[in-house]
Amino acid sequence: MKDLFDNLSYRVEDVITFESGIPGFEDKKHFVIVNVPEHEPFKWLYCVDDRVLRFALINPLLFYPDYNPQVTKADIATLEIENKKDILVFAIVTLAEDFRESTANLIGPVFINSAKRKGKQVIIDDNRYSTQEKILRS
Amino acid sequence: MLILTRKIDESIRIGDHIKITVIEIEGKHIKLGIEAPKNISVHREEVYQRIQDENKRAADVQQLRIQSFADFWKGKQQQSGS
């Protein structure tokens, strides 16, 4: 079957390095963010080490305007953050069979230092959130 | 697995830079103090596992589902924009 990313081209400088991988996929360290206009509001976190691995990302603030995960000293060190403005925050989405039931992982946001192209899925210690927060709440 | 016995205020050291101290014991609860370099993340095991499990579920991205969601989202944006 034809895959969405069969003909994907990307620039080496667009590759984001996740030095410790992503929990559950610790050996996968290189990803690119792909925008597919017809898939908005999602973006894709596509693994260039393993063409089968990809995640759907959203900007959590679209659905949880008060969401403000703390960037710790450890994150600043790992991601080599010099300016907090360089940090992009995404949540990984689990798409349910009924899309209305889809959830976002809000205790494991993905931080990306856009200046250094470094990424990390952090774990926040905040019991207001879970790994499965519904994104459509009405 | 290496098993060590420690008393309150005693520590173990892992490598050159990580130190774990028994701070308090109360019934079944043990408080540990962890000193580690700031680039080392420390998490409760069950939280780390929940993240791993959720990532494995999330990695099964089905394009049809993302398309249904995106179509719905576009409809919603158009509604609120008009």
B7 shares contact with chain A (CB less than 8 Å):
no
pLDDT score recorded for residue A13? 93
CB contact (8 A) between residue A55 and residue B55: yes
Stated as kind and residue range, the H or E segment containing B35 is strand B29-35
Residue B82 confidence (pLDDT): 55
Number of folded domains that form chain A? 1
What average pLDDT does chain A have?
92
Residue A1 lies in a domain: no
In a domain, A120, yes or no: yes
Contacts of A72 (CB under 8 A, 6+ apart): A122
A94/B57 CB distance under 8 A: yes
* pLDDT exceeds 70 at position A89: yes
Strand partners, A89: A111
Q: Is residue A58 part of a domain?
A: yes
Q: What local confidence, expressed as pLDDT, does residue A1 receive? A: 62
Strand partners, A87: A113
pLDDT at residue A137, as a whole number: 77
Give the domain range for residue A122. 12-134
CB contact under 8 A, A108 and B70: no
pLDDT averaged over every residue in chain B? 91
Tokens of B66: 């993302």
- A17 vs B43, which has greater pLDDT? A17
**CATH classification at residue A123:** 2.30.290.10
Residues of B in contact with A23 (CB under 8 A): 48, 51-52, 55
Q: Tell me the per-residue pLDDT of B50-76, one tens digit each, with 9 for 90 and over.
A: 999 999 999 988 788 888 889 998 888
Question: How much is the ipTM here?
Answer: 0.92
- How large is the average pLDDT for residues A68-83? 90
Report if residue A5 sits inside a domain: no
Preceding peptide of A69 cis, ω within 30°: no
Which residues of chain B have a CB within 8 Å of the CB of A102?
65, 69
Average pLDDT over residues B16-20: 96
Residue at A115 is within a domain: yes
Give B81's pLDDT tier (boundaries 50, 70, 90). Answer: low
- Higher per-residue pLDDT: B25 or B39: B25
- CB neighbours of B16 closer than 8 A, spacing ≥ 6? none
Beta carbons within 8 Å of A69's beta carbon, 6+ residues apart: A89, A106, A109, A122, A124, A126
Residue A21, domain member (yes or no)? yes
